[in-house]
Amino acid sequence: MAQQDWGSVPLPVALTSFKANVEKNEVKLSWHTASEHNNKYFEVQHSIDGNNFTAIGTIPGKGTTTIPSDYSFSHTNPVAGVNYYRLKQIDIDDRYEYSDVITAKINYRNLTSLYPNPIKEKLIISSSVNTEANLLNEAGQKLQSIKLVQGRNELGISKLQGGVYFIKFSDGSIQKFNVIK
């Protein structure tokens, strides 16, 4: 874990490992502590760029113990591509420190369907994963960035003129659709 100035206070957690494994489109995080001192909980944090992290779960700590402990957490909705993870360990007095950042790469292709096609009002994008996509015009120019969640996503097309458009997904795949006005 990243060091803070604890003075004469023993380090709150002796983290000996922190790992990420991809299993069936999920990221299984696991970590091991050799000892813990006043450990309230671990906050599991995720990022898609390695800089901006958000909390995705908490795991209670063991308080104070010299007995080695194993922990785990499953991230069920990682994005396609590289996912970044870190632990924020919080003490009972709310002091905290961060672990090193680890990564897991999701290599699956985004399975999507677009309907109806052609469309008049709303494009429905059904996605098998959380991912990002771009709306492109017929010339390949980016018109809009789209964040897709796993499941059903609606894209309003009222500002689009009639014609051919494309959705380019983060895995490189492209799907065509037609707008009728």
pLDDT in tens, 111-153: 678 888 888 888 898 887 788 889 999 888 999 999 988 889 9
In contact, 53 and 100? CB cutoff 8 Å:
no
From the number of C-beta atoms within 10 Å of its C-beta (0-12, 13-18, 19+), residue 69 rates as middle
If one compares 127 and 92, the residue with the highest pLDDT of the two is: 92
Residue 28 has pLDDT above 60, yes or no: yes
Q: Does residue 11 carry a pLDDT above 90?
A: no
Based on C-alpha coordinates, what's the Rg of the chain?
22
Q: Is the pLDDT of residue 3 over 70?
A: no
Residue 162 has a CB neighbour count (10 Å cut-off) of: 10
pTM comes to 0.60
Q: Which of the four pLDDT bands, split at 50, 70 and 90, describes residue 10?
A: low
pLDDT in tens, 74-91: 998 787 778 999 999 999
Q: Is 65 exposed, middle or buried (0-12, 13-18, 19+ CB in 10 A)?
A: middle
Strands (E), 13-121: 13-23, 26-47, 54-65, 69-75, 81-91, 96-98, 102-106, 112-115
Q: Residue 173: pLDDT above 80?
A: no
Confidence at residue 177, expressed as pLDDT on a 0 to 100 scale: 85
Band of pLDDT at residue 169, cut at 50, 70 and 90: confident
pLDDT at 111: 65
Give the per-residue pLDDT at 48: 86
Asked whether the predicted pLDDT for residue 46 surpasses 90, the reply is: yes
Q: Write out the DSSP string of 98-111.
A: E---EEEEE-PPP-
Residue 174 pLDDT: 79
Bridge partners, 82 (sequence order): 105
Q: Hey, is 123 helix, strand or coil? A: strand
Alpha-carbon distance 176 to 181, whole Å? 17
Q: Give the Cα separation of 5 and 11 in Å (integer).
A: 9
Question: What is the spatial distance between Cα 59 and Cα 40, in angstroms, rounded to a whole number?
Answer: 9
Mean pLDDT, rounded, for 161-175: 83
What tokens were used for 9? 């206070």
Query: pLDDT value at position 37?
Result: 93
In this predicted structure, the answer to whether residue 38 has a pLDDT above a threshold of 50 is: yes
Give the pLDDT confidence score for residue 176 in this predicted structure.
85
Q: Tell the burial category of 47 from Cβ atoms under 10 Å away from its Cβ (0-12, 13-18, 19+).
A: middle
For residues 154-162, give the mean pLDDT. Answer: 88
